[in-house]
Structure 1
Amino acid sequence: MEAMSSAPLRTYGGVSGTDRQAERRAQLLEAGLDLLGSEEGPPHALTVRGVCRRAGLAARYFYENFADRDALAAAVYDHVVEGIAATTLEAVQEAPADAEAKVRAGLSRLVRTVAEDPRRGRLLFSPSMADAALAQRRAASTRMFVGLLGVQAREFYGVDGGTRLDILAEMLVGGLAQTLTSWLDGSLEATEDEVVDHGAELFLAVSAT
């Protein structure tokens, strides 16, 4: 549970207390992503002291926003997932009303987002993220992406939901997650375009059945 100060937040230098608190929270989230998503930093490396040092903030500002390190880890994960989901959905919705265009737009945006900031990819897909708080978040985010895929399929193709669609959505989301895991850790040698091209080919093949 996040800890928030109940004291009034005053304005300094023309910046409201609420805005300053939001800025400090953003700094802490960024510092948490730096530590959680670093190549050397497994989840247990995340400490209140380390996050505050990385953010350049006193510990009291940490507890102004978060109850403990687990609350921060969960908030970092949610922040990354929500951002990826929003930008991917935006790309799909802005693409032409054509199955291939929408699939390629969504996959391209998703793959580009995790490729351009490896911290995001490691946070979402690295097997080392076995921390209990993150494991629960990972399971929840998988359910969310499965649900989003199912909604998009029903809306685009005008089909009703059912067990078959649920299974296909589970397989596609799970398969894509494993593909990105292998690609990001280097065990799958492929270019970004190849990941998108072959992924889109598979999604379209499944949707055509």
Structure 2
Amino acid sequence: MLEGMSARVYAGVAGEERQTARRARLVEAGLELLGADGDPRLTVRGVCAEAGLVPRYFYESFADRDALAVAVFDRVVSEIADAALTAVETADHPPDKVRAGLNAIVRSISEDPRRGRLLFSPALNSTVLAGRRVDSTRMFVRLLRAQVRAVFGAEEGADLTADFLVGGLAQTLSSWLGGTLDVSEEEIVDKCTGLFIAVAKAVTE
């Protein structure tokens, strides 16, 4: 019994927990490489070196580098969406909800620009992440559409409004990260909050 246990537990940490920890290190290393400022390159050897792990540990969690890239992307999108939804839910009034959600999104990207480059960098357009970007955009549209309906009571025009606002915000953040839009984080939140509220009111009135 003790011998069997020793095969599964090392230094007081079970094998499944160690594998989970190694996977998390690989995902973080993948974000470091994919979110690099410049030419993002993701290879099995490179990500293992970044994570400080040997290749066999890579393949216990991922079939190939594309699978890792998808896992990295999904984690980032999930973190941003969760932050935005939590911020919206903790605010009381419609304008405050809009500002809180936008602030959470912009702050998530400004605090870790790797996230923004992963979401918007043209260098990743020809990778497996191109399809993932489309899927995540549709997810954010669905989330915003639900908020437009719940917060502003808008049913008619909610679909068009959500598409318009998500697309505009994505382009704004892409330009900001790319350095072609010279504004502060606070200005983006302020201006976009005003635009979001104006569009929502135009739909509901």
CA contact (8 A) 1:35 1:41 kept: no
Q: Displacement of 1:151 after TM fit? A: 0.8
Structure 2 residue corresponding to 1:198, chosen from 183, 187, 191: 191
For residues 185 and 132 of structure 1, the distance between their equivalents in structure 2, rounded to whole angstroms, comes to: 19
- Report how many residues are paired: 196
Q: Displacement of 1:174 after TM fit? A: 0.4
Identity %, equivalent residues: 57
Is 1:30–2:28 an aligned residue pair? yes
CA contact (8 A) 1:153 1:159 kept: yes
Gaps of 5+ in 1: 1-8
Counterpart residue identity of residue 108, structure 2: T
For residues 191 and 136 of structure 1, the distance between their equivalents in structure 2, rounded to whole angstroms, comes to: 30
**TM-score relative to the length of structure 1:** 0.91
For residues 131 and 31 of structure 1, the distance between their equivalents in structure 2, rounded to whole angstroms, comes to: 21
**Pairwise CA RMSD of aligned residues?**
1.1
Counterpart residue identity of residue 171, structure 1: F
Counterpart of 2:107 in structure 1 is 112
Counterpart residue identity of residue 85, structure 1: A
Q: Displacement of 1:131 after TM fit? A: 3.0
Structure 2 residue corresponding to 1:173, chosen from 144, 158, 166: 166
Q: Which one has a larger percent helix, Structure 1 or Structure 2?
A: 2
Counterpart residue identity of residue 77, structure 2: V
Q: Choose 1 or 2 for highest CA Rg.
A: 2
Counterpart of 1:49 in structure 2 is 45
Deviation digits for residues 127-150 of structure 1 (CA, Å, limit 9, x no counterpart): 221133100100000000000001
Counterpart of 1:138 in structure 2 is 133
SS at match of 1:77: helix
Deviation digits for residues 3-32 of structure 1 (CA, Å, limit 9, x no counterpart): xxxxxx811111111111110000000000
Gaps of 5+ in 2: 1-6
For residues 167 and 132 of structure 1, the distance between their equivalents in structure 2, rounded to whole angstroms, comes to: 29
Is 1:183–2:176 an aligned residue pair? yes
Structure 2 residue corresponding to 1:59, chosen from 46, 55, 58: 55
